[in-house]
Structure 1
């Protein structure tokens, strides 16, 4: 008995000594690059299927090189092109269809989330000649299929640059800021349909299909830009808020031979979220949606006469998601991904639009579609078959048979396949393993070689005090919700700890996932080392557990999500090691709306909340996102107002920190200003911070360090 006691004391002492020798994560570590992770940047498979290219950066001053590697050996074959006196530093690249030309992006300047301006060059692989596309900064350049021309957008008009002659032709002339946009999307399409280039060459380069946006009647939104000038100035752009007028979008066809543009009538199409050429150069596919986004049509356009026919359509009582997974096979039959049976699955349709068969099925979700190999007649995809917090890569026949799991490690697996589907590079991570890149056989998933394993980061993390994420489920409001918890490394079940909850909670989102750390995870680890327990619960409305679980929040955003977080906090507070009088919650964007609502509506549960860049009324947010889940404010006023926290500021009891960037083009600072005014008029005490000219990400220079220092101090003071 005495020996056991001595052994216990020795073990406890050794554990204490081990923990004492570990460094605690600091904010300077997180935001100073200490935990930088290695990736494989801009990886593309070559047309031959035997080699791939990667963009590498090196040295000081910084240089870039496009390097070619062999799949079989992983050895570097050659440097295709590198920055030099003739070739400026480039940050991205695109091959022409025949790989004879490479489009290089330089001097990139962000506009909004996805859109960029830049100076672009064409590199001729054979002659090594470099040609600048335009003297001005341009948008979305795209090489023609034969690599002889580049189409691009400048100041809302489409141009075509001939590489050999150096001549440029303008093919639209009516583009102007705030009224007409040709060939690229407006703000709301870019943000919510997640694409910018709104034009495309057909397969033989004889036609260009493009979208035109008439945003003349869309209301203006303006932001003061403070900068370093004596006088601030207003930045204006068109932003359609829920229930307001959207841009009128139309489809047009430019014919290279005649130099003429024709209009394509799509009937009652309200949104045009995707255009994609079929294999026949005269056949274009177009996806359209009604304003409620619950009726999607896949149309076929005959480019010889612009006639339009319906291929297939999909309806939903709530909304239909738009994806990039549409794939046309050689005979123009096509692959479609949909949650029409209650879970997201893959379907095969004939070229006439009639359903042939459902390829995947089960109570799990397809989360990515990688492509179809015509030789083996296999489809490659990623799914949650190994649990909704995990991802694996699979192959399956188009008849739904001979399914094969190609990845073996439990965690998050994703794949980049060679063009001929002989190999794939697997990216794996888990909550305990940084990103690992391996070469695998596509036929059976066999791992052939390791490419990168982030061993440097892994070894560095050995020096720090880290606590594992403990995954579990928690039964709340009739659902088993996914959850993780991070406890202090020296956790003692006989002690009481404060609880800080983190969530996002937006429709189809996921925070509880078995994948490697992001910046928030490192911050949570730092707080755990200071004696806090961190918990994250994915409530109703989040993704990867089926259609009904996700769409239960339809017409009532934030209502059920708030109820779940409050109930989860209450249940967790009953644990013997949780101090029920010290419960906080934080979130960003949608999560900031959630944390605010939880502090107010759960004021007997939460003592503290932090809201970063929160929505405080869905009336202030954009049409496409908001109306997808809520319909319009005119149709659903209660849904908009019942969960807007500035309508009930008197409920505030706990400590509240509200943060926003004044230059947020996405969730406008108006949201926080209205919340601030409501709390002032209710005579409520709270803390707030506005970061001048910072967008929705609130970053740049020391901004993130300053923000998380403020958040850390607030947590320590109030929780």
Structure 2
């Protein structure tokens, strides 16, 4: 964050230090301080910080240290009060009204510190990890291991990817590790479930990390997913590398296709939903922001699009798309299908008539879950072997 002096026409850095400002929130004019969300120590979490608006102050964490996880705040105009929300992977969302800057809970029955139960962490199957790939890229993520894991056996793994600038999946918040598309419990059925975030995702790891994706969607992020998968295999020896599945929706669907097509030796089964098969079809407010003007970077669009690599499909693919998708247009599904047909590839495709990007209309989503579960279990069988 910068401060601009309109008299001297000069600007100076306010948030000095080796950290990212995830989200600016408020300016306390009386005390000349600024509030913002950041997480200097752990990119999977989010906390409230403040510092002097003069640019000469220390970074001060306002969120209580004991509450590990993801926090958000809506701060009042004079920065005296805030609506505070919090969750982590083993704690359901909480809300409270707090005073600032002391972060005192106004209503005692909303005191998150007293409600917080760290013991629940011990019983939760999810754990966070850090990996470093052969490209010297360090990534954070989470893993959910099978229930009653037998380390003498090998278990199938399902990767969940998004991998683009619009989202981060490896975040410490409630719901992490759950898969709403699977009709059952992945861990109880004997699957390993994994996600991690590579370069280009909005993980607070610096400018170079985020900007590495520029004109590289479909290449650098997919490389990170593939090499990251290999690093996960090395870290967790109970994973069966002959039963590797990947899934994603929207940008995650694009990543799923690219993983299957570009790295068929690693990923064997994929379920992709509403994917951008050809980047030249997607809206300019997003695609040109991260891929540049196609008149100047046309080849980058081509080289990052799954249809270029569709000819390499070796594994099992289920492709799902709503014909009424007004975000990722259905033409992507037809372009992809035509390319796979041209190269005589066996694949499965499911179109939902007049459904939009989320495929929620007219009771369609439960059917998506049925198809997802059936395809995964048939092509990447569960359980230890």
Distance 2:215 2:335 in 1: 23
Q: 1:380 aligns with which of 28, 32, 35?
A: 35
User: How much has 1:693 moved relative to structure 2?
Assistant: 1.2
**Counterpart residue number, 2:308:** 647
Q: 2:199 aligns with which of 540, 544, 554?
A: 540
Which gives a bigger RCO, structure 1 or 2 (Cα 8 Å, sep 6+)? Answer: 2
**Counterpart residue number, 2:14:** 359
Q: Is the 8 A contact 2:282 2:328 kept in 1?
A: yes
Distance 1:418 1:553 in 2: 36
Distance 2:145 2:60 in 1: 37
- The count of aligned residue pairs is 366
**Counterpart residue number, 2:24:** 369
**Counterpart residue number, 2:217:** 557
User: How much has 1:405 moved relative to structure 2?
Assistant: 1.6
**Counterpart residue number, 2:383:** none
**Counterpart residue number, 2:143:** 485
User: How much has 1:468 moved relative to structure 2?
Assistant: 2.9
Cα pair distance change 1:411/1:612, threshold 3 Å: same
Q: Does 1:512 align with 2:170?
A: yes
More strand by share: 1
Distance 1:644 1:663 in 2: 22
Larger mean CA deviation between 544-553 and 487-496 belongs to 487-496
Distance 1:447 1:389 in 2: 25
Q: Does 1:470 align with 2:127?
A: yes
Greater CA radius of gyration, 1 or 2? 1
Give SS of 1:396's match: strand
User: How much has 1:363 moved relative to structure 2?
Assistant: 2.2
**Counterpart residue number, 2:352:** 691
Q: Provide the aligned C-alpha RMSD in A.
A: 2.3
User: How much has 1:453 moved relative to structure 2?
Assistant: 8.8
User: How much has 1:598 moved relative to structure 2?
Assistant: 0.6
1:515-594 → structure 2 map (5 Å cutoff): 515-517=173-175, 521-523=179-181, 526-543=185-202, 544-574=204-234, 575-594=236-255
Q: Does 1:440 align with 2:98?
A: yes
Cα pair distance change 1:519/1:475, threshold 3 Å: closer
1:108-119 → structure 2 map (5 Å cutoff): none
User: How much has 1:566 moved relative to structure 2?
Assistant: 1.2
Q: Does 1:405 align with 2:61?
A: yes
Distance 2:101 2:304 in 1: 51
Cα pair distance change 1:451/1:613, threshold 3 Å: farther
Distance 1:513 1:604 in 2: 28
Q: Is the 8 A contact 2:142 2:177 kept in 1?
A: no
Q: Is the 8 A contact 1:505 1:542 kept in 2?
A: yes
Cα pair distance change 1:667/1:451, threshold 3 Å: farther
Cα deviation, 1:513-542, whole Å, max 9, x if unaligned, reads 111117954557821221100110101111
**Counterpart residue number, 2:154:** 496
Give the TM-score, by structure 2 length.
Answer: 0.89
Distance 1:443 1:356 in 2: 26
Give SS of 1:380's match: strand
Cα pair distance change 1:714/1:634, threshold 3 Å: same
Distance 1:640 1:421 in 2: 45
User: How much has 1:489 moved relative to structure 2?
Assistant: 2.6
Distance 1:353 1:430 in 2: 45
Cα deviation, 1:331-381, whole Å, max 9, x if unaligned, reads xxxxxxxxxxxxxxx111022583342111222211122211222222111
Cα pair distance change 1:356/1:496, threshold 3 Å: same
Cα pair distance change 1:547/1:402, threshold 3 Å: closer
Give SS of 2:245's match: strand
Distance 2:29 2:19 in 1: 26
Distance 1:634 1:475 in 2: 36
Give SS of 1:529's match: helix
| Runs of at least 5 residues in structure 2 that lack an aligned partner in the other structure | 381-385
Q: Is the 8 A contact 1:437 1:453 kept in 2?
A: no
Give SS of 1:434's match: strand
Distance 1:414 1:382 in 2: 7
Q: Is the 8 A contact 1:508 1:541 kept in 2?
A: no
Distance 1:617 1:451 in 2: 52
Cα deviation, 1:93-112, whole Å, max 9, x if unaligned, reads xxxxxxxxxxxxxxxxxxxx
Cα pair distance change 1:411/1:518, threshold 3 Å: closer
1:275-290 → structure 2 map (5 Å cutoff): none
**Counterpart residue number, 2:372:** 711
Distance 1:670 1:547 in 2: 34
User: How much has 1:545 moved relative to structure 2?
Assistant: 1.0
| Runs of at least 5 residues in structure 1 that lack an aligned partner in the other structure | 1-345
Distance 1:666 1:523 in 2: 20
More helix by share: 2
Cα pair distance change 1:536/1:450, threshold 3 Å: farther
Q: Is the 8 A contact 1:439 1:450 kept in 2?
A: no
